[in-house]
Every structure is written in structure tokens, then in C-alpha cells.
Amino acid sequence: MFFRVVLLVGCVSCGTTHFSDSVKLQDEADVSAEQIETVEQSAEVAVSTLASYETKPRLAWHFPCQEDGGWSLGEHDFIGQGVYSKNMRQAKSLELTISGVLCDTRYLPRDVVFVIDTSASMRYNDPVTPDGSCARSRAMDRMVSYLSRFDNAQVGLVTYNSYVSVMHERLVPATKFYADYVMMHSRMQEFLCYSDFYTNYRRALLQTEKLLNTGRTDSFREVYFFSDGEPVESIFTLENPAGLHIARRLRKNATIATVGLGRTGILERDIASRVDGEPLHRQADKLDELFRLLRTLVQTKNVGAELTYSFLGSEESYTIDIHQETGAVENEFFQLDPLLFTIDADDPQKNQGIAIAIKYWDSNGNTYHASSELHFTFE
């Protein structure tokens, strides 16, 4: 998610040592002597009045959802996140109007691993149909096609019983995964619908962790864990097949959604991530509901966003709840009331620039950040 931001710079005759939360400037002709005196006495107002001989230069700063996103609301001087510089000359104040679009989290990098149970009990709980498919393969067909639409998604596949197998040794772009999957579709059905040996979660989770570690540090990590029953002792008698400590470790950096096809209390209780205190688990009573279930689990909705702003070099900062102020949450345009900063070339806390930080979070409890800076010069 990124944001569209407009910076409006106004030059004034004098200022105070504070900046306000939402202050609107009047044009010179609209400012009376009485109003000027009132404003000068207020510690919460950043500037007193506008000098008639000074202009109000304006800057536009655009944060698109995607790098090639368009801007339809006017000209802009800066595009995207980063550090920018502006010569403020004799400016004494900065009026900042921030607007943007709260974008869907689907635009964020996504690292996805599907973990499919191929133990012997699947022979009964997810039988192979005459066309060679099973519920697991049919669900994968649709999900892989769905993910191929995201050019910033990476995908991996693990199947497990007493052993583990992978389709690729590392996460690969969703478009490549889709191409490989389609090219060897018949073999993929056999791979996914295989049913033999015991159920060893430990080995499956270790391989999942290994795959995720080949991904990106800034990605939204998703694990979709399929099983039809409790893990049981494998042919490797010294192993504990549950691997619950590995699941706990994974949940610190990834969201685990579990999908049950049988008696799967351990999935809900010990493997699945929790969202608002509830396990991210669904039981598929009917196999034809499996994809609809997965489609629900894969959705990540933004539920909040806030903006924090401050002078560079200052520990004082202010936060605005974007949703509370504008009602916008996801895929919606917002515009905040103007913010007003004073600028003082002689004050180290007010002559460096402005820092803008944006935080937003989704329904799975993941938090994301974006930040930018505007540095001042006085030539």
C-alpha cells in the first residue's frame, strides 16, 4: 500500500514554535486586525498572518499504489516514497494537505507456501476421482491460477507424509509456478493426490520454514496447511511428528491458515495463527467447498491506517487516524484537513525538514509501514 500526498507550501511573515493538527489559512484579504491578534495569542496555531507581498508556492507529492500509478488530481513535484529536497528560501510556514488512496494489501509482496498432506488416510478422506484428480489438486488448480495474477507473489509447494517433497527448492514467482504447474498438470495431480505412509507435521513445517527463508524480508508470508488428521508416529520412531515448537516459531513471521478434512483438532488448537483471538482455521465438510474456503482465507483486508508527522531532528510527533478522520479504509480515496508547520532557518528543529510515516494493518494482524522525508534548504 502506498499513498498519494499533496504538499502545499505557504510563505508567511512570522511563526511560533509549534505546528498544529488541522489549521486552515485565510487569504490575505480575509484576515482582519482582530483575527491577526487572536491568532498570534494562540500557542496551538502555527502562524499568525500572511504578508501581502509574499506568495504561497505549492508542492504536490504523489504516492501511488503502484510505481506506474497515475495522478489525476493535478501536477506533482515528487512521486513515491523516498527523500526529497526543497529550497524554502524565505518561507516561514508550510501548509501540508495529505491525500491518498488506501490500497488493497494484494499489492504488497506475498510469499505463499502450500503444505499438502499426502498420508495414507487421505485415500479415504480425499479420494481420487475417475479423472485422476482429488479435492487437493482441484483446489490447487484454482489457487495457483488466482495467484498468477499477482506479479509480486512468490509461491512454493510442500507435500508431506513420513517424508517431504517440494516442487521447487526455493520460492519462485507465481507466474513461473503457474507455467510449470500447467505444463506438467497430470504429474501434479499424481503428486498432490498421492496417499501413503504416516503423518509427520514436524518435517512438513521444517521444510515450509526453509522455503519461506528463501523469500523476502518485507513480504506478507502466508502458509496454507492441509491435513485430515492428527500427526502419528512415523517410521522414524525417534521423532515427535507434531513439531508444535516449529509451528510457534513460524507464526512469529508468517500467517498459518489451516484447512481440515477430518478430525483436525490439533490444526485449530496448535498450528493455526489467531486473528482477534480466533484460530485461522476452517473445516471443509464438503470437498467442493474447499476452494471457496481458501479464497476466504487468502483475503487480507486493511482495517486501519494512521499517519505520523514531525520535524526532522525533533522528538515531538503527531498521529492522525486516517480511518477515523475520513472513513476510508481500503481502495478508497482520502484527504485530511490541512496541517500547518512553521519553518525557521535559525531553529535546528525546524530547518531540517519534515518526516512522514504511514502505518496500516490488515485483518490478519500484520502491520506495514511507509515513510518519506522532505529536506529543507534556504538559499
Q: What is the pLDDT of residues 248-299, one digit of tens each?
A: 999 999 989 888 877 778 898 999 988 778 888 887 655 455 456 656 655 6
C-alpha cell at 369: 509501514
Among 252, 258, 254, 245, residue whose Cα is nearest residue 216 = 254
Is 312 part of any domain?
Answer: yes
C-alpha cell at 342: 512553521
Hey, how many other C-beta atoms are within 10 angstroms of the C-beta on 62? 22
Residue in the structure block whose three cell numbers are 477515523? 324
Q: Are residues 135 and 258 in the same domain?
A: yes
Residue 44: burial class (beta carbons within 10 Å; 0-12, 13-18, 19+): exposed
Q: Are residues 177 and 83 in the same domain?
A: no
Is 134 part of any domain?
Answer: yes
Amino acid at 238: L
Is 303 part of any domain?
Answer: no
Is 25 part of any domain?
Answer: yes
Secondary structure of residue 360 in the 3-state scheme? strand
Taking the C-alpha atoms of residue 193 and residue 186, their distance in angstroms, rounded to an integer, is: 11
Is 196 part of any domain?
Answer: yes
Single out the residue in 280, 298, 316 at which a domain terminates. Answer: 298
Handedness of CA 327, 222, 183, 135 (dihedral sign): negative
Single out the residue in 254, 273, 298 at which a domain terminates. Answer: 298
Q: Are residues 74 and 10 in the same domain?
A: yes
Across 180-216, b (16+ Cβ under 10 Å) vs e yields bbeeeeeebbebbbbbeebbbbbbbbbbbbbbbeebe
Taking the C-alpha atoms of residue 153 and residue 174, their distance in angstroms, rounded to an integer, is: 5
What's the predicted TM-score (pTM) here?
0.55
187 to each of 100, 143, 168, 191, 203, how far by Cα in Å?
Answer: 47, 17, 14, 6, 23
Q: What is the pLDDT of residues 75-132, one digit of tens each?
A: 677 777 789 888 888 888 888 777 777 766 555 678 999 999 999 999 998 899 999 9
Is 267 part of any domain?
Answer: yes
Residue 187 pLDDT > 80? yes
Taking the C-alpha atoms of residue 172 and residue 169, their distance in angstroms, rounded to an integer, is: 9
Q: Are residues 266 and 276 in the same domain?
A: yes
Instruction: Give the total number of structural domains in the chain.
Output: 2
Secondary structure of residue 159 in the 3-state scheme? strand
Q: Are residues 280 and 355 in the same domain?
A: no
Lowest mean pLDDT among 42-56, 62-76, 321-335: 42-56
Region 1-20: what's the mean pLDDT? 34
Is 265 part of any domain?
Answer: yes
Residue 342 bridge partners (DSSP) = 93
Q: Are residues 221 and 335 in the same domain?
A: no
Among 4, 18, 2, 5, residue whose Cα is nearest residue 341 = 18
For the chain, what percent of residues have pLDDT higher than 70?
72
Q: Are residues 64 and 142 in the same domain?
A: no
186 to each of 129, 131, 134, 165, 349, how far by Cα in Å?
Answer: 13, 10, 12, 17, 66
Between 185-193 and 174-183, two packed helices, what is the crossing angle to 10 degrees? 90
Q: What is the pLDDT of residues 346-365, one digit of tens each?
A: 888 889 999 988 887 877 66
Residue range(s) defining the domain that contains residue 347: 5-104+308-377
Output the average pLDDT for the chain: 76
Type and span of the H or E element at 108: none
Q: Are residues 369 and 258 in the same domain?
A: no
Q: Are residues 100 and 116 in the same domain?
A: no
Single out the residue in 275, 298, 321 at which a domain terminates. Answer: 298
Q: Are residues 20 and 96 in the same domain?
A: yes
Contact 114, 158 (CB under 8 A): yes
For the chain, what percent of residues have pLDDT higher than 90?
31
Most confident residue range from 50-59, 100-109, 277-286, 367-376 = 367-376
Taking the C-alpha atoms of residue 229 and residue 161, their distance in angstroms, rounded to an integer, is: 11
Q: Are residues 99 and 110 in the same domain?
A: no
Question: In this structure, what CATH number is given to the domain that contains residue 233?
Answer: 3.40.50.410
Contact 58, 94 (CB under 8 A): no
Q: Are residues 100 and 111 in the same domain?
A: no
